Amino acid sequence: MITVSLQWIAAAVDGELQGEHCTINKVSTDTRSLPPGCLFIALKGPHFDAHDFISDAIDQGATAIMVERPIDMDTRRGVAQIIVPNTRHALGQLGAAVKAQVAPKTIAITGSSGKTSVKEMLAAILQTRGDVLATRGNFNNDIGCPLTLLRLEPQHEFAVIELGANHPGEIAYTTRLTMPDVAIINNVAPAHVEGFGSVHGVFRAKTEIFRGLGPAGIALTPAHSEFAECWQQELAERTHFTFGRQSDDVQPHIAATDVELNDQGCASFTAHIPAGLSTLEPTAQTARVQLSLPGLHNVDNALVAIAAALAVGCALADAASALNQLTPVSGRLNVMTLTPQLRLIDDTYNANVGSVKAALDTLAAYPGFRLMILGDMGELGAQARQYHEEVGAYAIQAGIDNLFTLGVLSQSASEVFNGRGGRHFSQFDALIEGVIEAVQQAKAPMTILAKGSRSAHMERVIEALTTRQNELQPGYTEKGKHAC
């Protein structure tokens, strides 16, 4: 964080400063990870009130506090306090003020899936031009976004901010804090439907990202989306580019052609960049791009990352080179070679209908026997079982050899797959034994992909299988020999 005075902070949040003046370059909202010398902001929620932990914060070295109700001198032991009507709103005001002070070129990203992949791709490209701040982990909500903005320092030339939401209005709020130069909607699919009522509700929520876009800002949306025409109308008065794979029916502004997959499941393609997008090269450009991450869906992710990077001053050649060297993020299509004949793909970070279909497409591109292990997809509302049936049917369409499921909802997916090898497990240990048995009976080569929502904790599958790696050999027998 930049170094600022308490007076500056109080002015930024419309607060009342009481106590000695000092400077601050750290902010915390959590006494469990509070750095000494910080400003502690006491947030309140339906089930917690951090005002109860003011003494703990001061014990751990907080030099100032931000509160909604005055804390008496004895309790705060002389530590300065800033009193505001709402600490949650004040956190947002402070994040926005720091962002305005540093003034980096800013790209905001939202979407039902792939946000983190685009963020990582974009950050890697931007690092070829200067220092980059990017959202960490899942700090993408109305608290995480301002905390991310508060990490900005004077040297940051670029900021890549991921914006998520589980209710209407959340992205409208965070994009106003972020004020991006480029705003991206990666895709819209059934995700967090419980909070939005329908996929159309998800579309409306994601489209809020353009409310914080300035007059000179650039909007990027997927050309193949069912909502493409809606964005075309809504963004008619803005600078708007579409992206995606070129087809007879769809001609995106930013297009990928000649798409190929190598034997590792990684795509290469020719990127077509229109005139007027790049700030370095005013004419149209093309480049061949080889991705280091598996999955055909990453073509779209890479395209929009390239487009956003070029819009804020990067070169196309640098973008292509950075994408070729990018390494997978843990839990997101991270390919592990357990044996020469067995791959394990860790895609356990999260799941919704769109990302599961993308994972199935990725798995289908590998040779040999393909097994998908699926946990429940959460927050899908009243149509949850229908959505699980949909991905079960998609697994058949993709040509997956077997589908194992764990969880109450995911059983619907394996039931659709039943008769083709689909199996449902109600117990985790039984699932692991079933997977090991399937590997031992399968013909090599074999690829396993595990996926599920955060609530399904499917990372346990990866941990268990890597721990028992010595048993995971196609054709393995109890005696440790390969069957003839």
Quick: pLDDT tens for 38-83: 999 999 989 899 999 999 999 999 999 999 999 998 888 989 999 9
Mean pLDDT of the chain: 93
> Are the C-beta atoms of 313 and 279 separated by less than 8 Å?
yes
Q: Is 278 annotated as a binding residue?
A: no
Q: Is 115 annotated as a binding residue?
A: yes
Q: What token pair was written down for 32?
A: 């469990």
Contacts of 63 (CB under 8 A, 6+ apart): 22, 24, 36, 37, 38, 39, 79, 80
Report pLDDT digits (tens) over 392-402: 999 999 999 99
Q: Is 92 annotated as a binding residue?
A: no
> Are the C-beta atoms of 442 and 400 separated by less than 8 Å?
no
> Are the C-beta atoms of 17 and 4 separated by less than 8 Å?
no
Beta-strand relationship, 334-339 and 342-347:
antiparallel
Instruction: Please check the confidence at residue 192 and state whether its pLDDT lies above 80.
Output: no
CA dist 458 and 460 (Å) reads 5
> Are the C-beta atoms of 211 and 136 separated by less than 8 Å?
no
> Are the C-beta atoms of 39 and 66 separated by less than 8 Å?
yes
Per-residue pLDDT, 482: 40
> Are the C-beta atoms of 257 and 246 separated by less than 8 Å?
yes
Picking from 369, 356, 373, the residue whose alpha carbon sits closest to that of residue 435 is: 373
Q: Is the pLDDT higher at 482 or at 156? A: 156
Residue type, 185: I
The SS3 of residue 482 is strand
Instruction: Please check the confidence at residue 477 and state whether its pLDDT lies above 50.
Output: no
Picking from 36, 216, 19, 5, the residue whose alpha carbon sits closest to that of residue 98 is: 5
> Are the C-beta atoms of 354 and 227 separated by less than 8 Å?
no
Q: Within a 10 A sphere around the Cβ of 56, how many other Cβ atoms?
A: 14
The SS3 of residue 403 is strand
The verdict on whether omega for the bond into residue 190 sits within 30 degrees of 0, i.e. cis, is no
Report pLDDT digits (tens) over 438-460: 999 988 899 999 999 999 999 99
Per-residue pLDDT, 263: 83
Percent of the chain with pLDDT over 70: 97
Which of these ranges, 101-105, 181-185, 265-269, has the smallest mean pLDDT?
265-269
Which of these ranges, 64-73, 139-148, 188-197, has the smallest mean pLDDT?
188-197
Instruction: Please check the confidence at residue 326 and state whether its pLDDT lies above 50.
Output: yes
For 420-458, give the secondary structure using H, E and C.
Answer: CCCEEECCHHHHHHHHHHHHHHCCCCEEEEEECCHHHCC
Task: Tell me the mean pLDDT in the region 242-264.
Answer: 94
Provide the strand spans (E) within 231-306.
Answer: 239-245, 254-261, 266-273, 285-294
Q: Listing from the earlier edge strand, what are the strands of the sheet with 131-134?
A: 131-134, 156-162, 105-110, 182-185, 218-222, 239-245, 254-261, 266-273, 285-294
Predicted structure pTM score:
0.86
Q: What token pair was written down for 372?
A: 């998908």
Task: Tell me the mean pLDDT in the region 91-119.
Answer: 96
Per-residue pLDDT, 478: 46
Instruction: Please check the confidence at residue 113 and state whether its pLDDT lies above 90.
Output: no
Percent of the chain with pLDDT over 90: 82
Per-residue pLDDT, 404: 97
Picking from 308, 282, 273, 259, the residue whose alpha carbon sits closest to that of residue 132 is: 308
Which of these ranges, 215-219, 349-353, 480-484, has the smallest mean pLDDT?
480-484
Report pLDDT digits (tens) over 240-251: 999 999 998 999
Q: What token pair was written down for 444?
A: 């090599």
Instruction: Please check the confidence at residue 474 and state whether its pLDDT lies above 90.
Output: no
Per-residue pLDDT, 189: 83
CA dist 253 and 272 (Å) reads 8
Q: What token pair was written down for 403?
A: 């589908």
CA dist 176 and 254 (Å) reads 27
Task: Tell me the mean pLDDT in the region 330-350.
Answer: 91
Picking from 71, 301, 52, the residue whose alpha carbon sits closest to that of residue 184 is: 301
Per-residue pLDDT, 479: 42
Per-residue pLDDT, 33: 92
Instruction: Please check the confidence at residue 483 and state whether its pLDDT lies above 50.
Output: no
Q: Is 479 annotated as a binding residue?
A: no
Domains of the chain: 4-87 (3.40.1390.10), 103-324 (3.40.1190.10), 334-471 (3.90.190.20)
